[in-house]
Amino acid sequence: MKNSALILLLFCSVYSFASNKVGKLEVISPDGNLTIRVSVSEKIFYSVAYKGIEIVTPSAIALVLQDQVLGASPKVKKTSKQNHKGVINLPYGNFKTLDDRYNELIIDFEGNYSIFLRAYNEGVAYRFKTNIDSPVTVISEEANFNFSGDPSVVFPETDVFTSWEVPYIKYPSVSGIAENKKAFTPVLFSNNKINIVVGESDVLNYPGMYLKKSAGSIKGTWANYPKRTELGSWGNFVSVVKETENFVAKTEGTRTFPWRVIMPSDDDKTFLTNDLIYKLAKPLAIDASWVKPGKATWEWWHDAIVEDAGIPSGMNNRNTALYKHYIDFASANKLEYLMIDAGWSDIYNLSKANPKVDIKELIQYGKSKNVNIFLWCVATTLIADLDRYMDLFQQWGAAGLKVDFIDRDDQLAIAWFEKIAAAAAKRKLMVNFHGCSKPTGLERAYPNIVNYEAVRGAECSKWDLTANPDHHLDVLFTRMLAGPLDYTPGSMRNKTKELFKPIDPGLPSSQGTRCHELSMYVLFDQPFAMLCDAPAEYRKYPDIMKFLSAIPTTFDDTKVLGAKRSEYAIIAKRKGDDWFVGAMTNWIGRDQSIDFSFLPEGKVYKADVYLDGKDADTDATQYDHNTMEITNKTKLNIRMANGGGSIVYLHQ
């Protein structure tokens, strides 16, 4: 009996020791370049190393619940590891498939919670998981990002929790950011030639993360749970939070929480094909065989002014006849969609159509011309009677919705995204989210989400100077890592920095050259892509319409041919046998060479080449269009003007 008690005592001592003295808690990426480590003491700390260099020093993480802190005085119960090697088959995207390889460490703690850590070649991520029987209230989350040194930052700064269409502020160092200033993610940090993008993935039933300068470091921060809301802001149709609770989320006790994602690289080209946020997100949840991405003609940016329409045009003349003119233009130029923006219905009652716009007739007319229709609506009206309106749009035969003015990403608003996407998918309707927070991978589960805005886009050309070539290059290396964006390019009224002036109302122009503008159709990830300018403008340039008609919005393969963060990018994308190459520079002109060695051996392509004209530095509309033959031996030297670009369309 005494021996049994002694053995039991020794066993308990060993168990206690093993529970508190755990082995090395780390996971390494398949290519060996990235390591995420965890240390457990009075708190839980993680750190990240890239190619042997510590880029994130020990940083505390915790989940603060109403009655306990997950991460305070932690005790490890057990750990497990797995190595995953798979393939994600995409319904559409920039590739046919994605390589899905990662190594994972799972740490189970006393207190019914775990931490998952993954290391991919593209980055590392961690998330909390709880296994609690009853619902929980999350008071706050502690997510620290203690970077080595004092990196520079591309900071999409915002003073509120309601805006994602902001200019990016460049700080030479984290220490140069004012205390309590915050930005939405992704945010790019740069230190010792290593660029690090911080983002999040799989945000479901939980508020979105911002990064805030606090006590000299970078920390996560979130919108509190709404206590009281009312309609206000634009036209009194936006749900505005007037009072909040002292917590961020009320949720089920057994669940996973969003991934906190860190993507480092010393090769800027890798950011332009980094799909880690998508890979970490919820897998496909619907049959997506019916989802058809494509391009749309659209009236709002150019105030519906079509100078050669032969009928009255302009915003006050948006009627059935004018929209049929847009449908005819789309049909003649192989555009799949017409996007009908605000004004077709009563904002507060989507079943009450503007008597000047016969939506049913337009939908049927469009179908006879192989052009389908998206309809604009505000989120608050739609969500208030979701099933009725979705049934109505399905009965009419609409292809999809542009859901606008969400303007929040607290827990309740985040839930709207999935609720709308699921209801739309049930009726085979696509969704273009506008006035929304940045994507975090929900389009993987619901590929009927064909775009998100969450970017300072072409619309800002009407009001200010912020939608410019410098901004476009920043978008490529930050916002685009989160997912697709509804920038709405296509301006044919192109201006230099010196000559540009905002115009609203009327016919606006854009900053950068004609070829810079066209390159967005290759470089930007936009499954639902607008042609923002008037049909009249495109008809003046049949050679440009040849390219805009031909380029798809999704691709089978993508190759980054050259890139330098915030300065320039050259990308080639393939659809079937055709290739499309886009090059873009910031406000600094530069010479580059496009190396076509990626093409198949022995194959000769006909190429339409669009280059900045010799005087494009002073007349941004100038471009040269040439045809030539290109093989995998070709190297094409290009000169991009200030704010310039170029396009090469290769076909048989």
Residue 607's DSSP bridge partners are 628, 650
Please write the tens of the pLDDT for every residue from 427-470: 999 999 999 999 999 999 999 999 999 999 999 999 999 999 99
What's the CA gap between 215 and 602, in Å, rounded? 60
3-class DSSP state of 430: strand
* Architecture of the domain delimited by 22-266: Distorted Sandwich (2.70)
What pLDDT score was predicted for residue 13? 31
What's the CA gap between 119 and 305, in Å, rounded? 52
What pLDDT score was predicted for residue 8? 33
Asked if 535 contacts 549 with a C-beta cutoff of 8 angstroms, the reply is no
Return the sign of the alpha-carbon dihedral for residues 600, 606, 608, 611.
Answer: positive
Low-confidence ranges of the chain (pLDDT < 50): 1-21
Asked if 488 contacts 452 with a C-beta cutoff of 8 angstroms, the reply is no
As a residue count, the chain comes to 652
What pLDDT score was predicted for residue 457? 98
Domain with CATH 2.70.98.10 in the chain: 22-266
What pLDDT score was predicted for residue 311? 98
3-class DSSP state of 364: helix
Look up the pTM and report it: 0.95
3-class DSSP state of 222: strand
What pLDDT score was predicted for residue 22? 57
Q: Which of 432, 334, 422, 337 is nearest to 379 (CA)?
A: 432
Asked if 142 contacts 64 with a C-beta cutoff of 8 angstroms, the reply is yes
Burial zone of 640 (CB within 10 Å; 0-12 exposed, 13-18 middle, 19+ buried): buried
Interacting residues of 52 by C-beta distance below 8 A, sequence separation 6+: none
Q: Which of 478, 484, 584, 485 is nearest to 153 (CA)?
A: 478
What's the CA gap between 186 and 227, in Å, rounded? 28
What pLDDT score was predicted for residue 15? 32
What's the CA gap between 200 and 207, in Å, rounded? 11
Residue 226's DSSP bridge partners are 244
Domain with CATH 3.20.20.70 in the chain: 302-308+460-652
The residue type found at 394 is Q
- Which residues are catalytically annotated? 404, 459
Instruction: Quickly list DSSP for 77-120.
Output: EEEEEEEEEEEEEPSSSSSSEEEEEEEEEEEEETTTEEEEEEE-
What's the CA gap between 102 and 98, in Å, rounded? 12
Interacting residues of 41 by C-beta distance below 8 A, sequence separation 6+: none
Looking at 233-381, which runs of residues are DSSP E strands?
238-244, 249-251, 254-256, 259-265, 294-298, 337-340, 345-346, 349-353, 372-378
* Architecture of the domain delimited by 302-308+460-652: Alpha-Beta Barrel (3.20)
What pLDDT score was predicted for residue 371? 98
What does each C-alpha distance from 529 to 158, 488, 648 come to in angstroms?
A: 26, 7, 19
What's the CA gap between 145 and 471, in Å, rounded? 25
What pLDDT score was predicted for residue 23? 61
What pLDDT score was predicted for residue 1? 33
Query: How does 531-561 read in b/e, with b if 16+ C-beta sit within 10 Å?
Result: bbbbbbbbeebeebbebbebbbbbbbebebb
Cα 554 to its chain centre, rounded Å, is 15
Structure-token pair, residue 270: 């890798």
| Phi and psi, residue 9, nearest 5° | -65, -45
